[in-house]
A and B are shown apart, each in its own frame.
Chain A
Amino acid sequence: MTLFLKRLFLFIIVVVIIDQLVGFAMRQLYFNQHKGQFAQTTYSVDSANQDIIVFGSSRAVRHYSTTILSKAFGKSCYNVGRDGQMIPYYAALEDVIFNRKKPKLVILDINTWEFFVGSSKYEKLSILLPYCNKHPELIKYVETASPYERYKLYSAIYPFNSSLFIATNNKLFESKIASDENGYDPLNKTMDAATIEYTKKIVEQTKKESKMKQAKTDTLALSFYRQFLQKCVDANIPTYVVISPTIAPEIPNERKNKLLEITKSFPTITFLDYSCDSNYNDHFEKFADIFHLNKQGSEEFTKDLVNRIKL
């Protein structure tokens, strides 16, 4: 047994060294991205300090033109939205950004499906792992997925888990990646006939399914939502919570009622709901896919929004 323990000890040392070396290489690769989602997230976490900050998921990234918002209000603007993310991510980012500088206007793009019960919204916070050493306030958020995340961070590789493909691709083909406009990355395409048919099929299917109505509400997600609004109110920041346009009118559901109820408890916060706006519903020409407006649609929407924001 002594031989085994000696060798095990030596082996662990080797693993730790290799982990640190490979982790160092991955860190270099990750933090030397100049374009793409990783670069955008790094900027959002480490540097974003503009006057107007847009929070949200991929729908925020595609729907809110920072150029239009900037021009309309004469203030700098950055869109910190991130594909696939939900309310816990916005709350985490809000913490980091507000610790650096309080913005003058906050726009939070929200979707009611973010409040379904499900662990994925917390698991997706793993994209914040590369930043946890520099921003320890993020640890409590990543720990919502697992209480052991703090310990897993002892590995230098683990924070960059599953990022190698994208990071390598973005580094090798950097010139082919379109630059975003301060986080705004519009979709320059329209739906072809086949995509429209496919979309209609999904919309019909969704209407038929009772899943949307029956799904339970995630109370932890609601508490993150409440926390997000509370921080804005505490910092005295004008805040707009927006459900941006959807391709089909949203089916009434319990989650939206809960969101409205929470928002109402903060009288200074405005809730704008475009999910049943006939200017967008069924206007396939304004959408790039089932979830996102295209460039034309997003610019029209941002202009609409500007008219409703009072600063």
Chain B
Amino acid sequence: MIFNSVVFVLFYIIVTALYFILPHKFRWGLLLAASCYFYMAFVPVYILILGFTIVVDYFAGIFIENTIDAKKRKQLLLCSLVANIGVLVFFKYYNFLNTNISILLNNFNARNPLPFLTILLPIGLSFHTFQAMSYTIEVYRGNQKAEKHFGIYSLYVMFYPQLVAGPIERPQNILHQMHENHEFDYANMVDGLKQMLWGFFKKLVVADRLSIYVNSIFDHAEVHNGSSIAIACLFFSAQIYCDFSGYSDIAIGSAKTMGFDLMTNFRRPYFAKSINEFWSRWHISLSTWFRDYLYFPLGGNRVPKLLVYRNFFIVFLISGVWHGANYTFIVWGALHAFFSIIGMIITPFTKDMHLKLHINKRITDVARQLFIVLLVTFAWIFFRATSMENAMTVIHNLKTFGQHPFLGDSVSNFGHCILAIALLFIIEYKKEYLPTKFNFFQHPNIFIRWGSIVSMIVAILIFGVFNGGQFIYFQF
């Protein structure tokens, strides 16, 4: 079941209504059943995989808490991590690893005895695996009490709004909320619905509209000139942002209507002035996950400079691998690591550039922001490309920049794309730089407030793409 479908809208209305109708003691059961139904709408049998990791982590958490011996606690944690990572590796990376083993053995004229599997990747596997892992790690660290209620723990992993594409929650933030009685709250309900509406706008009006042009270029990159490819790359930057942050908005909004506070996942990342700042604004739940469970344990910033760079490189590389079993994702991660490390090295020289150049700070800030957008956009080529060959074709053809761009199958669609990006930029700019002004959605005057909400609904009906399909991040 995808968020941008009629089925989801019906599902959401029924589940939310029942949530407030039922007494508190039955609500976890309702949400768990609803989450199972939501997940099983994809590939029903894969619920067993989730069930397996849930059982392992539930008992691991309890055993870790009840064990005093440090060595045994560590072993229990390792068991849980191996089970989680094992499932992830098997379903997501098995064929990729197998291909590489075959290539390696071929060089020595040997045959790979391992068979290739025709398995479909369970939807959102990387997301709920990471969420499950954060639970056992936090219990091990003593930051979280083991959850004794099996149903509540299952709900922690399976909570439908964030089950398939995050935000990847920490147990400290969400588990206690699942025990609490959430009375109906007018402000939560209205704010949540507004956030969902904004998410739908980003997905239907911007992301899915841009994807029509982007797909037409990337699918036939070999025949398109640099101008078309450059436009497609920039469009993809906006597309993936709106696709993913749109999903997050719908997830956070739908949870909020039931009284749950999920963590913020995006803070207008394309206004970042450095790659590191970009990552503090983009997919925050994943960045902080890597920070807390990988970067800090590796030594974080409290080690010599060279080791800090090494840590950054490891984290970005693993982040790339997390996204998918393809070299394109590894290169994408490596590029971000490279940009980030270079950024750290040159920061002392570029810090007060406006003073050195005797120009307004706003000018250097805008230049930095544009530069970061270009760097990130370049890296997105690898993320979007279907293979390294495809990525190389895109980069090779970028050289012919300057020729007349292909405007797509219909000029009207291209016009819609430009309009969508312009609208997105205006709204995001307002949120970033004028957070207290023009808050039409929260305006005290009901005509302005309702007028702006109705306008957004009308804009979705007029300009939205209603057959855009899946969210990009579902595949991870």
Contacts and interface: CB of A to CB of B under 8 A. Distances in A.
A1 interface: yes
Given A1-B20, A18-B454, A148-B6, A123 B463 contact: no
B184 A165 contact: no
Contacts of B466: 126, 152, 161
Nearest to B461: A157
A4 B222 contact: no
B337 to A, nearest CB: 34
B467 A123 contact: yes
Contacts of B453: 11
Interface in B202-252: 220, 222-223
Contacts, number: 66
B409 A162 contact: no
A117 interface: no
Contacts of A84: 409
A210 interface: no
B433 interface: no
Contact of B461 (A3, A4, A155): A155
A167 to B, nearest CB: 9
A214 interface: no
Interface string A198-233: 100110010000000000000000000000000000
Contacts of B410: 166
A26 B222 CA distance: 40
A15 B454 contact: yes
A170 B159 CA distance: 49
Interface residues of A, number: 33
Interface SS of B by simple majority: helix
Interface in B440-472: 450, 453-454, 457-458, 461-467
B458 A19 contact: yes
Given A3-B186, A19-B461, A14 B416 contact: no
Interface string A135-164: 000000000011010011001011011101
B190 interface: yes
Contacts of A123: 467
A145 B409 CA distance: 20
Contact of A14 (B222, B450, B465): B450
A4 B189 contact: yes
Interface in A27-43: none
A251 interface: no
B416 A162 contact: yes
Given A4-B189, A119-B467, A145-B467, A157 B462 contact: yes
A146 B467 CA distance: 9
A33 to B, nearest CB: 14
Contacts of B467: 119, 123, 126, 145-146
A205 B223 contact: yes
B6 A146 contact: yes
A171 B416 CA distance: 18
A22 interface: yes
A202 B415 CA distance: 26
B118 interface: no
Nearest to A158: B461
A165 B412 contact: yes
B463 A18 contact: no
Given A161-B462, A161-B466, A4 B412 contact: no
B462 A164 contact: yes
Contacts of A158: 461
4 pairs of A and B residues whose beta carbons are closest in the complex: A157-B461, A165-B412, A148-B6, A123-B467
15 contacts: A4-B189, A15-B454, A84-B409, A119-B467, A123-B467, A126-B467, A146-B467, A151-B6, A152-B6, A157-B458, A157-B462, A161-B463, A162-B412, A169-B412, A198-B223
Interface of A: 1, 3-4, 11, 14-15, 18-19, 22, 26, 84, 119, 123, 126, 145-146, 148, 151-152, 155, 157-158, 160-162, 164-166, 169, 198, 201-202, 205
Given A123-B467, A157-B462, 10 more contacts: A4-B186, A18-B454, A18-B458, A84-B409, A119-B467, A145-B467, A160-B462, A161-B463, A164-B462, A169-B412
